[in-house]
Amino acid sequence: MFLVLSVNSPALGMIESVLRDIEEGIAKSQDSAAPAALQLAVSNIEDRFLDEGPPQWKELALSTQRQRAARGYGPTGPILRRSGTLLRALTDSTDPMNINRIRQYSRRTVGVLGTKDFRYSILQWGNELEGGFIPSRWMWPTGQEEQYLMDDIEDELTEKLVANAQIKRHKAIGVAR
């Protein structure tokens, strides 16, 4: 036995219209969400290299300063940008060491950020060596800072969703302000 309820009301038609617009907005936003998030993340990494932090990267060891000077580079900086290969490996999608990609799955689109350059994890987290210690140089935000970046990405994507869903046209029925 089945019970079928049918409610016919003009308000239901308006609600259905709002939900249809939201569904269409999500579909339009989904395709641009991963590229937008990836672009924001790459921009954040570029800023880290240019600003040498935050948190501020530790000064280079005296032995590193001497080595840089002997090779014709400024002894104190810029840090991690002698040749630029690591920065390109993280941010330039045409670099062979870069694995930044947009992946399409059956129900979602995902941005992948990364590099095949083995130095990334050593320099991001720091490492002890026989001759000394390499301090961590945060190229990707961690902890609270990572949450702020995720919040920025979420805000940007929410704005795109609202624009794509045309919510403002439903102001008359009290959906949008």
Q: How much is the pLDDT for 92?
A: 94
Q: 111 in helix, strand or coil?
A: strand
Segments forming the whole domain that contains residue 62: 34-140
Residue 27 lies in a domain: no
Residue 24 lies in a domain: no
Q: Are residues 146 and 108 in the same domain?
A: no
Residue 22 lies in a domain: no
Q: How confident is the model over 49-74, as pLDDT tens digits?
A: 999 987 888 999 898 899 999 999 98
* C-alpha to C-alpha distance for 34 and 37, rounded to whole angstroms: 5
Pairing of the two strands 132-134 and 109-112: unpaired
Identify the segments of the chain with pLDDT beneath 70: 1-14, 31, 166-177
Residue 106 lies in a domain: yes
Q: Are residues 99 and 175 in the same domain?
A: no
| Total number of domains constituting the chain | 2
